[in-house]
C-alpha cells in the first residue's frame, strides 16, 4: 500500500481500481490519505538500477548468512537433519536475520538509500540549504 502515489494495495493495481469516498466529512480523517506528491528535490536512480542493486545486496546477504550457518550449525544438522537444540536455535536466528535483512534491502534499495543506487539532491536545492 505504501509504494504507490494513491496508497493502492497490490490487488488494486492488478485490477486498476481505486477507492472513492463520496463524503469525506463523514469519514475518520486518520483513514483518508491524499495522493502523494512527487519529491522534486531529489533525482532517483532508474528502477532497473535500484532492482539490480537490491538483487546484488540479496546475493551478498545470502552468501554471508550461508557462511554464518556453516560456523554456527553442526555438519550433522546440515547434512542429516540431526539437530541439537542449539542448532535449531541458530537456524531460527539465521532465518529471522535473513528475512529482516532481505526486507530492509528491498525497502532501502527502492527508496534510494542503499549505496550503489542512492538518490541525489538536485543542485538548486543544495544551494538553498
Length of the chain: 129
The whole-number pLDDT of residue 15 equals 75
33 with 72, same domain: the answer is no
- Is pLDDT at 2 greater than 60 in this prediction? no
116 with 94, same domain: the answer is yes
- Is pLDDT at 10 greater than 80 in this prediction? no
Q: Which of 9-13, 42-46, 49-53, 110-114 has the highest mean pLDDT?
A: 49-53
Task: Please state the domain count of the chain.
Answer: 2
- Is pLDDT at 103 greater than 70 in this prediction? yes
Query: What average pLDDT does this structure show over 44-52?
Result: 94
Query: What average pLDDT does this structure show over 59-88?
Result: 95
- Is pLDDT at 6 greater than 70 in this prediction? no
47 with 108, same domain: the answer is yes
Q: How far apart are CA 88 and CA 77, in angstroms?
A: 9
Angle, helix 85-110 to helix 47-72, in steps of 10 degrees: 170
59 with 31, same domain: the answer is no
The whole-number pLDDT of residue 121 equals 83
Q: How far apart are CA 112 and CA 44, in angstroms?
A: 6
51 with 98, same domain: the answer is yes
Range of the domain at 17: 1-37
64 with 119, same domain: the answer is yes
All 3 cell numbers of residue 101? 535483512
Amino acid at each position: 500500500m505504501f509504494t504507490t502515489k494513491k496508497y493502492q494495495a497490490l490487488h488494486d493495481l492488478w485490477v486498476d481500481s481505486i477507492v472513492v469516498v463520496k463524503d469525506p466529512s463523514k469519514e475518520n480523517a486518520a483513514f483518508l490519505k491524499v495522493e502523494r506528491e512527487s519529491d522534486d528535490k531529489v533525482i532517483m536512480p532508474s528502477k532497473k538500477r535500484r532492482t539490480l542493486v537490491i538483487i546484488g545486496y540479496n546475493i551478498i546477504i545470502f552468501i554471508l548468512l550461508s557462511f554464518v550457518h556453516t560456523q554456527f550449525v553442526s555438519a550433522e544438522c546440515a547434512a542429516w537433519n540431526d539437530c541439537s537444540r542449539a542448532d535449531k536455535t541458530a537456524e531460527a536466528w539465521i532465518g529471522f536475520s535473513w528475512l529482516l535483512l532481505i526486507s530492509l534491502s528491498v525497502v532501502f534499495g527502492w527508496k534510494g538509500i542503499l549505496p550503489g543506487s542512492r538518490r541525489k539532491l538536485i543542485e538548486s536545492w543544495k544551494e538553498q540549504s
